[in-house]
Copies of this chain bind each other. A is one copy, B any other.
Amino acid sequence: MSYYERHIFFCLNQRENGENACAQHDAQAGFDHCKSRVKALGLAGKGGVRVNKAGCLDRCAGGPVAVVYPDATWYSYVDASDIDEIVEKHLKHGEVVERLVLPEHVGR
Contact = CB atoms under 8 A, between A and B. Distances in A.
Which DSSP category, helix, strand, loop or mixed, fits chain A's interface? loop
A55 B58 contact: no
Given A69-B72, A70-B71, A71-B70, A3 B59 contact: yes
Nearest to A46: B107
A72 B9 contact: no
Interface residues of A, number: 22
Interface string A55-75: 111110000000101111010
A54 B54 contact: yes
Contacts of A54: 9, 52-55
Given A3-B104, A104-B3, A58 B50 contact: yes
